[in-house]
Structure 1
Amino acid sequence: MTAHQRIAQPARRTARPGARRLALTGLAAAAALSLAACGGSTGGDHKNGADHGGKPSATAGTTGSNPAPGPVGDTDVKFAQAMIPHHQQALEMARLADGRAADPEIKKLVAAIKQAQDPEIQRMRSWLKAWGKPESADTMPGMDHGSGSMDHGSTGHGSGMSGMMSDKDMKELKAAKGRDFDRKFASMMIAHHKGAIDMAKDEQQHGRNAAAKKLADDVVRTQAAEVAEMNKLLARL
């Protein structure tokens, strides 16, 4: 072995441990990066799995909800179909009070009617939609589906809906102002409310759906109280 070879050989031996260290360091770094990537992927998959697991159940619950579940009979359907236009006319009468009513108690009553009956209309519409029934019954007399108006004769009590005002009644109310309006409004709304109470009592006795019967209970309770209040108003107007 020459002197040159003896000098070069140790140099090769000293280089090998360094190479090993570099290789081991590189492997360790690669392993750490791999573990980090796996950990991040696992966390992401878990998060996505939670999201996908929650969304379908929430959506299904909302889509499948029924505003008036349970058994439904003809009386329930007719109650909603008749009470919607009945409430609509009450709201029409209440809107006529703007700029015409004078008595503060009448104005307060008007506000209560608006607050209660419009949401009830929306509720009953949602029931009929869920039940697969039309909003209006074609067999109901006195209904003009083309114009949306209802002509019930001169007295307003000749149709299938008790307490409805005639076109003549509504024109007289629209023409009145001040105390004259207050008296006409109270008198007409008493008759209108009594008609609604009769319809609600029929639902209480013959209806099957729990939501419809609950609304009938509310109508009887609230409108009977308003009738008593309007009778007192008429006594002093």
Structure 2
Amino acid sequence: MFTMPAFGRARLLAPVALVTAVFLAGCGTGDEAPAAEPTPATEEQSGAEHNDADVMFAQMMIPHHEQAVQMAGLAEERAGEEVRELATEIEAAQGPEIEQLTAMLESWGEEPEGGSMDHGMPGMMSEDDMAALESASGDEFDERFLEMMIAHHEGAIEMAQTEIDEGANADAIALAEQVVSAQESEIEQMTAMLGGSPSPSADTGDGGHGGH
């Protein structure tokens, strides 16, 4: 019987060994870890990227909007038709924004601030301002409401612009841009309703609206 020389068998086995090695390398051993995928924590961190400016914007804008909604509520039984309609629009716009800002803070693990910072915010009315507005009615209410809301809007725009300049969270910046656009338009509308620029000597209490 013919016996293949050893060197011949080696030459035939070498290609087989090479193919086997390539096949095993391609398939893996089964013990290797699967390709890394983004973890939920990583995705959440990316979606909720924020900085201190974002947190401050949300914490300050919530009570600021809440006061605007309170002012708008007073118009329901005190204002003329034109101002009452404007107040309804302001309340309808700022109520959902309060919910959005609150949800942002919750997603960041932050708490809404208390009332301690209220009077340090631009455009914020003092208790005397609010009492004077509540006691007015008719034309007096309309004029006082418009003057106060213009100052209030100016303060909101100032805070929103700071967020646009310094914030990191895309949703917060987009909301700030929305605030600037909407409230600048409303300021123009309210100024026209007053018949021009609001009087700088308007009596709105003790100046609790941040110098505006």
TM-score over 0.5 for the pair: yes
| Residue matched to 1:106 | 83
Inter-partner Cα distance in structure 2 for 1:89 and 1:69 = 30
Match of 2:109 in 1: 132
Which residue type is aligned with residue 137 of structure 2?
A: K
Correspondence for 1:90 among 60, 63, 68: 68
Query: 1:111 and 1:98 mapped to 2: Cα distance?
Result: 8
Matched, 1:174 2:134: yes
The answer for unaligned runs of 5 or more in structure 1 is 1-60, 145-149, 153-158
CA distance in 2, matches of 1:105, 1:198: 26
Equivalent positions of 1:39-50 (< 5 A) are: none
Q: CA deviation at 1:70?
A: 3.9
Give the match's secondary structure for 1:135: coil
Query: Which one of 169, 184, 197 corresponds to residue 144 of structure 2?
Result: 184
Paired with 2:51 and 2:190, the residues of 1 have a C-alpha distance of: 34
Q: From the CA coordinates, give the structure whose radius of gyration is larger.
A: 1
Q: Name 1:227's counterpart in structure 2.
A: 187
Write the letter of the residue equivalent to 2:47. Answer: P
1:91 is paired with a residue whose SS is helix
1:29-60, CA deviations, whole angstroms, 9 ceiling, x for partnerless residues? xxxxxxxxxxxxxxxxxxxxxxxxxxxxxxxx
Identity %: 45
TM-score, with length taken from structure 1? 0.62
1:198 is aligned to 2:158 = yes
Q: Which residue identity does 2:60 align to in structure 1? A: A
1:213 maps to 173
Q: CA deviation at 1:69?
A: 2.2
**How far apart are the structure 2 equivalents of 1:167 and 1:213?**
30
Q: 1:122 aligns to what? A: 99
Kindly indicate whether the alpha-carbon contact (under 8 Å) linking 2:48 and 2:108 is maintained by their aligned counterparts in 1.
no
2:116 is matched with 143
TM-score, normalised relative to structure 2: 0.69
Q: Distance in 1 between matches of 2:82 and 2:74?
A: 15
Instruction: List gaps (5 residues or longer) in structure 2.
Output: 1-39, 199-212
Tell me how far apart the structure 2 counterparts of residues 69 and 201 of structure 1 sit (CA, whole Å). 22
Structure 2 residue identity aligned to 1:134: E
Aligned to 1:4: none
